Every structure is written in C-alpha cells, then in structure tokens.
Structure 1
Amino acid sequence: MQIHPLKLMLSPTFARCSSNLKPYFLKTKPFSSSSLDFSPWSGLQSWRESPLNKNRFWGPKGPQTPPSSIDTNGTSLLDSASSLAELGALVLSTSDPLSKSKLSHLAFSKWRNEKLPVGVYDPPSRPARPPKPELVSPKEIPAPKDSGMPLNVYMLHNLAHVELNAIDLAWDTVVRFSPFSEILEEGFFADFAHVADDESRHFAWCSQRLDELGFRYGDMPAHNLLWRECEKSSDDVAARLAVIPLVQEARGLDAGPRLVQKLVGFGDNMTSKIVARIADEEVAHVAVGVYWFVSVCQKMGRAPCSTFKDLLREYNVELKGPFNYSARDEAGIPRDWYDKSSTNKQDEVTKPNTPEKLSVVYERLASIIAMETENASLNKPAG
C-alpha cells in the first residue's frame, strides 16, 4: 500500500530520513478553497494577535491577574532553552500540576517575548505525572456518592484532570511534530503553544476553586485514558487534529452549557461561571483545529470532510450528539463533517452490532456532565 508522502513526513519515525520526499510533497496541488465549504472562526486572527493573558486568578468579578505577582519559580529551568520545542519538552517533563501550569505560561511568554525559533526537540515518551491522583482503570474510579466529595467538587476535579491533560496534549503536538515546521508552517506551532497557555490558565482556575472548596487536585483517583488515546495519533498529524481539537475539544462546546446549568442547579454559581468561561474559550481551540486540519488536507490534496470521516473510522471514534450547532458553526466545523443528518446516504457510516467507540477521552466537558454514570457508560454496548 502506498503511503502519502505527507503522512510519512509527519511521522516522527521518518523525521530524519524523509527529506527526499519534500520535492514530491511541494508539487501536491491543493484543491480550490471554493470546494472546502469552510468558514474560519471570525475571531481567530484576533485571538492569535491578543496580548499575553495573565488573568490566571479568578476574582470576585471574574478572571484577573493574581493579587501578587505570578510565581516565577522555574524560570531558571527555562533560561537555557533556545526554541519553542525545547520549552514544550520541559513543560512535558514537569510532574507537579501547579508547576506544570505555571511553567506552561512562562514558556509561552518566553517564546513570544524573545521570538525564539520553533526548533526541533524529542518529546518525552509520556508526560511526567505527580504521585496523586492515582491513575486507575475507569472501573476503579469511584461514583460521586462513593467519592467523599460533593457533586460540584467531583465534577470540578474531573475537569481539572482534563485541563491538566490538555496542557500536555497541546505541548506534545508542538514538540512531536517540530521536525516538520517547514511543512506545517510556524503558525501551526504558535497556535498550539497558545492553546497550551489557555489550558494552563484553565487548570489554574480549577485548582484555585478546588482549594476554595476545601479540596485539591489529586484527592480522588483518575484514569489515564486521555493520554493513552492520544498516543494513537502520535505518528499522524491529521489524526491528531481530528481526534483532539475536532472531537475532544468540540465535545466541550456541546457540553459546556449543560454543565453550567447543572452547577447552577447545585447552587455553585462561582464554579458555573468558571466552567462557562472555559467552555467559551474552547471555541478558539476548535477553530485552530479546523484551520490546520483543512491546511493539512490541502497539502495532501484530499477533501477535509471525507478525510475526517476516514480517520474517525480508522481510530474507532464515533461521534455522538446532542451537538451544540451554534457553537460548532461559530468555530467553523461544517455540519456535514459530524452530523449524519447533514450528509448524503453514501457518506453515512453504519456499523450494526458494533459497540460504541467514543471514549471519555474525546468527551471533554461532556464526560464530566455524565461522570456519575461514567463507569456504566464506558462499557455499555450500542443499543
């Protein structure tokens, strides 16, 4: 079977032996933009050009800069780093959650302020993790009633776990595909480093709120499905874009409003406001994924819609609603990519008697809404 040169070139295993493919790759003729049915998020350029966001503390009126200057512990660790990829690898190699969050922001700030190159660096085989939370199988995660936590804290802890993993997912994308910066363009790495900075701010808000409620991240077990599933797309940038921002982050758009309502109903208005802001900021992350997925498809000379569906079949990912159409439309995901009712019959994927494959790893905030039934849903066959 012939493998497309782009997939070879974007595979780390071919990182240093595929230069001979570049001339072939550059001759690939992209299809016309009129055939894409793709409208980028209107705020994408403003997000890219926005100043560094230092509002890593959640005050009485919302996000603000910390009451005291941000802890700069760890800056010495970054002093010798000479590229964005090396900075990202340092973040990935940091185990303490709050240190990882702070270092992520400092790394993005250093790269922006000093205008460092993307560079090339090998990522660690997996991100460094703290002793707690203990990582267990999904079946071993306690139900809310058995966790010793109020439901709002239980959901917030799981959201914090998602956000911590999201920091690593974004930096791994930067570092893992750094050998191909000439092909992917510097903007690709700038965008995902920016995403990592956003995710680190989200984790800081979650961690702060947990502390205010009398708990800490790590007070209950968590699973490692998020990273384990991410590893499947480690050799294919198109797959990474499809399964992380276009599925995982897009589920946050679907679930955010429902989670907010659940927290309001519980009586925790402060946490609901934090979650609402996080969900709102996910639009940028999904938009980044759409933009670069379309760009990669253009370079391969393939239609984004059919390529997206092919990748989901290959990686056994099933899309499932309800969908937040307005938020997805805003982020720029064409409906016929993910909604069967918007596609022709020949484009629909039907697999009778097949178990549902969409793991909690691709649920983002949706997984948290249904957390109280997560153990059952993970093993429930399609009905």
Structure 2
Amino acid sequence: MLPRSPSCTRALALCLLLAASAAHASPVLARRGPVITYDDTGHIVNITDPTTQQQIAQGAATDGAGAGFGVPAVVWLAWAFAVGVPLALAGFRLGRLTTGAALGCAATLAIWASFVNAVGADGISDLWLMILPLAAFGCAFVLGLFEFGRIAGLAVLGVLGGMSVGVRIVLFRAGLLVPHPYWANWVVTMVLAAVMLLLVIAKQRAGVTLSAAAVGTFLIALGADLVANKQAGMSMGLRYFFDRNSAHILWLQTRGWHPPVTTEVIMAVSLAATPLLAYAQHRLFKQPFKRPRRDSLASRLSVDDDDTTIADAPEPEKQALAKNVEPSEEASTPPTPAPDEPGSPKEDTPFRAKLGSLKRS
C-alpha cells in the first residue's frame, strides 16, 4: 500500500501535473505549417496562417545574386572561384587557410539561410543579402587562422564536405530527390555530413582531402553554373531546398525545381572530380595537415629540419636546445691526434737546424 504522507502526496500530484502538461502541450507548442488552398486546377488560391487565420502576404524568393550578370552575381561568382579552386586543388596543403575557409563558408551559409527564411513579403535587397553573408565569411575566416579555431574548422570542414555532396545529390531530381516528405532530403544530406565528420575524426588525412575537394568542387560547380544558367540553375535549386519561408510559398511552388541539363552535367562532373582531386592531393602533399612553425622549438628539434642547428640559434634558445640534445658517441670521444706525416713542418724544422750546425762545424 502506498504511503499517504503529505510530502509524498505533493510529489505524486506534481508528477501527474507535469505528465498532463507534457501530454497537452505538444499540440499547442508544435509549429503548424500554413494552410494552402488550391482550386480545381491545382493552383494555389490562398495561403493562411493557422494561428491568426489571416492571409500570408507573398513575395519573391531571392538568393542575393540579383539578375543576370549584375554586381551581386559577379561578386558571388568571383567568391565561388576564389574559395573553391584553392580548396579543390590544394586544400590539404593550405592548412589554416583551409580551416579558415571552412568556418567562413559555414558562416556564409548560416547568415544567408537565416535571412532568406526570416524576411517578409517585402524581402531584402540583393545587395544586402550579398554583403552580410560575405562579411560573415571574412570574420569567420580570420578566426579559423588561429590555433583555437583549427579544431572547429576541421569539424566544420567535414560537415560541409558531406553536405556539399548531399545537396548535389538532392538537386539532381526535379522537385528534389524525395519530393514528399521534404525532410527526407535533409536526412540524406545530414547522414553524409555525419559520415564525413566521422572520417575527419578517425582518418584525418582522408577526411580532410575528401572534404576540401568536395567543398571546392561544389563552389566551382556553383560558379560555373552561374555562368551557364545564371539564376535558373543551381541558384534556383538552393533556394528551393533551403527556403522554407511562408512568404515565399507561392513563388517557389509556382516555379518549382526543374534542373536544366547543363546543371545536371556540371553537378555530375563536380561529383566525379571530387575523389580524383582528393587522391591527387593525397599523392602530392606528403606533409601532415598540421605542420610546426619554422620558428618554433618543435621545428628546431625536428629531424627533418636540416637547415637549423644549435650553433645558428640565438643564445637563449641554445641553452634550451642543448638540454634536449644528447651528445653522440663521436662528440663524447676525444679526437685522436693525426700521425705526423713525413716532411711535415714538425720534422722538417729540427732537420734543417742540425744540418746548419754541421755546416758551421
């Protein structure tokens, strides 16, 4: 029989209250999507907020690239190639520049997606949607250059590498890889991101080369597609995949996602080039991803550093280095004097002196 003390009764009542609150709070706190009304032909007639029962104003979805080859498009194009080409060709060799680029790309994606999903029907100008993400890239890039940003940069590089592959796979099909449910496309993307992150942790060399090549080829493909298809190619696909703004439903659903053939070819070539470029980096760059600085104590004690000796070091460092260098057998053995050679000055001088004394006598 359960005890009936006041404290036990209050505890039991509190547990029941919390359970009841949890059971009834889910429908209230859960976010409900907008209510979309269609006509007989399948066209959207009305989009209503389920909470306020008010019609949601609709506007155009923008990606910050403007139209055609305007200033925003040219800036994004230059940025994609400036970041993508070094990562694809020498991401493993660039060290902290690679971790800085990884943090910068992550910040760019986060700021861009945040604004795209938060703006109302009036939207935001393409110029600001270009400046703000690129400013975030610059700040995060600088952080990745420091030692404290290296570990975070490596982790982010792995996540971005997997996501870049997943996004291209998802965009291959009209209406995305899995049209319904939408979240299944994110499952595919996040699984690949997790796999690449684990690869960076378990096998750093393989993970870094693959991730850097994947991010680099994605950016190169994005730049090439901007040249070929302007805002109707991958740019439109990225908007369709990342933009879940209720103010853009009509615009996105009306246009849909139908990848051009050239976009599919560009994405396929970039995916095929990723493992090839990663293997090329593995073969070309034999040094570890993190290399000691030339002016550090570790680099001076390295057996691979043939140019630095204790004699060349400053006086404070000579003492520190001398304590860590054990004398070799050759250094501890006293030098053996070389035997006198015939005709050397030591033998020649007494002989001439004796010869001179004999002549005088």
Question: TM-score category by the smaller chain?
Answer: under 0.3
TM-score, normalised with respect to structure 2: 0.25
Which structure's CA Rg is the greater one? 2
Larger RCO, structures 1/2 (Cα 8 Å, 6+ apart): 1
TM-score, normalised with respect to structure 1: 0.24
